[in-house]
Every structure is written in C-alpha cells, then in structure tokens.
Structure 1
Amino acid sequence: MNKRLISTIAIIVGFLAVAFVATGKPTQQTKSKDYVPTVGILQLVTHPALDEIHRGIVAGLKTQGYSGKKVKIDYQNAQANQANLKTMSQKFTNENADLTLGIATPAALSLAKTADGNSPVILAGITDPAGSGLVKSAQRPGANITGTSGDSPLEQHLNVIKQVVPKAKKLGIIYTTSDHGGEYNAKKMAQLAKTAGYDVHMYTISTTNDMQQVAETMASQVDVVYAPQDNGVASAMKTLISITNKDNIPVIPAVNTMVKDGGVATISVSQYDIGYQAGIMAGQVLKGKDTATYPVKTITKGDVVVNLKQAKLLGLKLPANMIKTAETKGEVFK
C-alpha cells in the first residue's frame, strides 16, 4: 500500500471521527436500518388543549412508522416553570435527541435556544412563529425549525360575541404577559373589536395566581370577556369563570377545552389536528426532509362549540343555527 493511499484513508477516518464527536451520534448516512431515533417532546404545562396536541403528535408520528419499538419518546412537562423548561431542553441535548417538539411557544423557544441551530425542532401549535423569532418566515423557515401553527379565527370569534351577546358594548380581553401567542391574539382581537365599535378594556396576568384578583376587577367593568388562545388563561379558566359567573358576565374563549371549562361558545381549531400534523412533519424530518425549506403549516379550520349548560346559567339564548351546527359538525357541552 503506497503512502499516498495510506494518507487518504487516514484523512477519511479522521473526518468520520470528528463528525461523530461533533454530534455525539452517528451521522444520518451511517445510521443502520435498525436505528431507533430519540424524540423529545417538551410541553409547557398540563391542560386539556396542550394535552390534545401531545396526543396528536404521538398519532402523527405513528403514521410515519415511528411508534412502539421504532422510536424512543422522551416526554417532559415543565408545569409552567421557566427553570424546568431550560433544564428539560438541556436534557434532550445531553441525550443527543434526534429531534425535539415544543408544545406552546415558551417550550419551543427554550428548545430552539438550546438546539442553537443544530438539531431539528418541530413547533406544535405555536401562534405567530415568525413574530416569536422562531423562523424567518412561515413559507421558508430558514434553519433547523419548522412545524405547525394554530391560528385563531379571530373574526369568527368576534362574530360569536356579536351573536351570543348582541347588546354588549364593553369588551374585556385578558392575556398572560409572558405568553407571546396570547398577547398576539389579544391585541389583534382588540383592533378588530375597536373597529367594530366595541369599548375595549385590556387586562393582563403574570401567572395563574393573578387571575382571581384581575378577573374580579374585569367583571365589574365589562359586559363580556374574550379569552384568547393563551396558556396561562386556559390554565386558570375555571377561576375566571367562577368570578365572571357571580356578575353574570359571559366569557367567549378561543378553543373547545375552554368552552368545556365554562366558556359559552366559540369556533375552535382542533388542537389534536395541530399536534397530528406536527407529528407527521416530525416523522418526515426524521426521514431526511430539510426543516429550512419545509413550510410551517397553519391549521385554521374550526368547528362550532357551545356550552348549553353555561348559556342557561347566564340566561343567554344561543342562536338556533349555532346550536344545530354544533350538534351536527361541532361539539356540544350540556
């Protein structure tokens, strides 16, 4: 064997060794057919909407062949603790997860920061991913991040308010200061409502512990409340309803799980579908699809959801066509 051939082999071996050390795992090309990828799922907090996204992710991964012994899923729930988000994100990096999914904007931001442009991050139900700085644009994300966005049908929500509480003039909107998606939806709704002639009052909470005091103030000042797709508000929905019910103030929320917790009615985008699509995208990325050119998918189709028990409690008569649509194509809570 001549010296030139030996040198060439040495260079190739050295390159492969560096590639392995740099990533902490074999490169995509060297993975065997039996290789089992590790997928990290980071959820901000436990509440029904985010739980539905998680359930959808698992189902979506399954359609791509990643279930059972074909994948290792490491599920972590930060329970709304920022320190937990950082620790759990780092855990995925330390374990060399092949891909991570973030359920809710704070979880996605934490994963993105820890991944630092390296391992793929899939968004699951993130409002305004470009505005959050997670991607360059929805059409061309541009780096290691893509996924799904659940865009609230705000104009339809405003129409629900008009139908359910036609005489209302003062609209209260509440959101969590640390939730970019909640703030984004709240401010967009405020603009729409002002244009429609409502006297809009904005209220904020820092944590769920603030809800009772803020809700008491809000209920004394408005005719109806809009609760946007906001993780803090969704987690404290039952507290909000317990206060607004005392003053006979209806709450129109963004998603079906919040209607179940005491909201009157809404047009709800399926949280399960948001997760399901994110799971499919994760599977495609594991198979080699490039996140940089894989467009963010926005889920916008919604179903009518009503809470007949809550409407009766507040003395509201819901439009017959709204109830009929909910019964045939949507969801009804009695």
Structure 2
Amino acid sequence: MKNNWKKLMIALFSVVLVLSACGQGEKTGEGENAGSDSKKYKVGVTQIVEHPSLNAAFDGFKKALEDAGLDVEYDEQNAQNDMGNNTTIATNLVNSDVDLIFANSTPSAQAVAGATKDIPIVFTSVTDAVSAELIESMESPGGNVTGTIDLHPDAIPNTMKFLKDELGAKNIGMVFNAGEQNSRAQVESVKEILEEMDMKVVEASVSTSAEVKQATESLVGQVDAFYIITDNTVVSALESVISVAEDNEIPMMVAEFDSVKRGGLGAYGFEYYDIGYEAGEMAVKILKDETKPADIPAQYPQNLKFVVNKDAADKMGVTIKDEWKAEFTE
C-alpha cells in the first residue's frame, strides 16, 4: 500500500512539473513578442477618387502601421468621385465595427465625420480642415478627428511669386470643382494673394472629370498661365489640362509632385506618401497607445521644395533658369 501511494505521489509530481514547464514556455513566448501588438485591428478606408496623389497617401499610411508592427485588416472603399457613394461609404464603415477610419480627401473626411462622433478618424489630403469643420484648430482638434494637411502655408505665395517674377504672368487660369470645399478655399487664397500683386484669377468651374478639357480650353486666350490646385476632380483628369497647356504653350504650375511627374511644369510641394505616412503615425498613437484624436495636433507637410519637369518646360515653351535652384524631373 505504501509503495502504491509512493508511486501515485511521484506520478502527480511529474504531471505538475510538465504543466509548470508548459506555463513557462507560454510566458517565454510572450516575452519574446514584448513591444509588439498582437491585436488584430480593422481600419476602414474611404477615398473620394482614384488618382496617384491619393493612392500614394494611402500607401504611406499603410507603411506607417506596418512599421509599427500592427496587424491590420483594411476595408477599402472608393467613391469614384460620386458624392452619393461617398455618403453611403461613410455610413457603411461606421456600421462595420471598425477600430478607426482613414479618410483620404476633404469630402471623404466630411462624410465620415458627419456619420460618427465616436469612432476615431484620421484624415489626409485635406486642404483646410478648420474651414471644412473637421477640427476646431490645428493645435487642438477636439472631437474624434485629426490628420495631416495637403497644403504648406508657403506653397501658394511662392507659386504666385514665381508666376509673376519668373514667367511674367498676370492672368492665372484655374480649373476647379466648386463643389469641393478644399478647392474653394485654395481659389480664395490665390485671389487674395494675387490682388496684392496686381494679378487676377480667371476661373473655369467643372462638376465632373469629363468637363475638365473643355473648361481648360475655354481659358485659352484669356490667361498667361494655369495653376492646378489639389482639386480631386481636375487632378483625376490632369492629362486633359496638360494637353491644352502643351498645345497652346501655356505654362501650367501645379500644387503637388505627382502632378509634376505626370506633366506639370513645376510645383512648390511635398510627397503625398509622406503626409500619408504622418497620418499613419497618428493612427498608431490612437490604436496602439490609445491616445485620443483630440489630443493629437493636426499638422502641415513637413518639407517644402521646388521641383521642375524639364520635358514639360520644353513642351510649354518655358526656358529653365539656373537661378531657380529647383530639383528636376524629366
């Protein structure tokens, strides 16, 4: 009886040791992953239209979350520049149990901000977030929204000065969608600056990308140069503007580098990938560190530089000067 009892105790002790070893193994595994976030996040994505700048911003956003080690499932939605779709997408994402919404453009951000006051929203590719009523101020956004702006404060003044001093332009043609709040804000900013410079804006408004070429052609003979802002409707059909500018040798300045690469003469700008990445860093703070959007200041692009497209300059009849101190793309 004593021998049987002794054997039973040894067996029970062995089981305890095995279970203890298993527990230690699990803890060791957790220790090896310390600092990484094992949670699976769901991020809703709303983008107003397909074009290279917005796509680059989304690429940057995803890379920031990847670099932070977050495991993310994306629910990607594109409105194809249809405001009805834009509103529907916002409603669907809010009802899809997402942890955060990434809004890529002003209309996208306005739609989701109107649909939820609870789910965190991070925007990018927004020109004036305060006027768009997305945030209370850049420093203190308030509410559930923050993000990155796609207009450096010095970009428009520098561009207008370049058009006047270097190209001798007085009448600046602007094609834009008046239905986009970000576009109206930029046009008004240009008008204010040009009024002080004894220059003026000649406008052509569109509502769809199909109208862009005809609207641009209507300005020929009235303008000395074009300035194409970050208008989603126009940028999605930028090649139409480029063809008119080249055919008539009218210099066409743009507001961001992707449009320079596509054939714009030049821009004081930044990379959309960068502001997307910076927005992604904000999303990491919200998801991983549980920081509230209200406590994350919105921010402007961090780097502003001047880029000129040599090939576009030739086609638009512009002679490049050494003193421009620009970076060049073919």
Instruction: Pick from 46, 49, 54 the counterpart of residue 53 of structure 2.
Output: 49
Aligned to 2:22: none
Alpha-carbon distance between aligned partners in 1 of 2:204 and 2:188, rounded to the nearest angstrom: 11
Q: In the alignment, residue 36 of structure 1 is paired with which amino acid? A: K
Match of 1:297, SS state, is: coil
Alpha-carbon distance between aligned partners in 2 of 1:98 and 1:128, rounded to the nearest angstrom: 25
Match of 1:71, SS state, is: strand
Match of 1:125, SS state, is: strand
Deviation at 1:133, TM superposition (A): 0.7
Deviation at 1:163, TM superposition (A): 4.8
Aligned to 2:329: 333
Change in CA separation of 1:247 and 1:64 when aligned onto 2, cut-off 3 Å: same
Aligned to 2:66: 62
Matching of residue 289 in structure 1 with residue 321 in structure 2: no
Q: Deviations over 1:27-59 (max 9, x none)?
A: xxxxxx743110111111111111110111001
Structure 1, 75-84 or 105-114: larger mean CA deviation: 75-84
What's the TM-score, normalizing by structure 1? 0.83
Q: In the alignment, residue 42 of structure 2 is paired with which amino acid? A: T
Q: Deviations over 1:103-136 (max 9, x none)?
A: 0001111111222x11111111211101001111
Matching of residue 118 in structure 1 with residue 118 in structure 2: yes
In percent, how many aligned pairs have the same letter? Answer: 28
Contact 2:146 2:294 in 1 (8 A): yes
Alpha-carbon distance between aligned partners in 2 of 1:308 and 1:325, rounded to the nearest angstrom: 11
Aligned to 1:140: 140
Alpha-carbon distance between aligned partners in 1 of 2:200 and 2:130, rounded to the nearest angstrom: 30
Deviation at 1:300, TM superposition (A): 4.7
Q: Deviations over 1:54-85 (max 9, x none)?
A: 1110011123222xxx2212222211112222
Q: Where does the alignment leave 5 or more consecutive residues of structure 1 unmatched?
A: 1-32, 327-331
Aligned to 2:262: 261
Q: Deviations over 1:4-47 (max 9, x none)?
A: xxxxxxxxxxxxxxxxxxxxxxxxxxxxx743110111111111
Structure 1, 119-128 or 70-79: larger mean CA deviation: 70-79
Matching of residue 161 in structure 1 with residue 166 in structure 2: no
Q: In the alignment, residue 250 of structure 2 is paired with which amino acid? A: I
Q: Which one has a bigger Cα radius of gyration?
A: 2
Contact 1:163 1:318 in 2 (8 A): no
Match of 2:219, SS state, is: helix
1:94-109 map, 5 Å = 94-109=95-110
**Number of residues of Structure 1 aligned to a counterpart in Structure 2:** 291
Match of 1:92, SS state, is: helix
Q: In the alignment, residue 249 of structure 2 is paired with which amino acid? A: N
Deviation at 1:310, TM superposition (A): 1.3
Q: Where does the alignment leave 5 or more consecutive residues of structure 2 unmatched?
A: 1-36
Matching of residue 313 in structure 1 with residue 315 in structure 2: yes
Deviation at 1:151, TM superposition (A): 1.7
1:143-222 map, 5 Å = 143-152=143-152, 153-166=155-168, 168-222=169-223
Contact 2:248 2:316 in 1 (8 A): no
Deviation at 1:200, TM superposition (A): 2.6
Give the aligned CA root-mean-square deviation in angstroms: 1.6
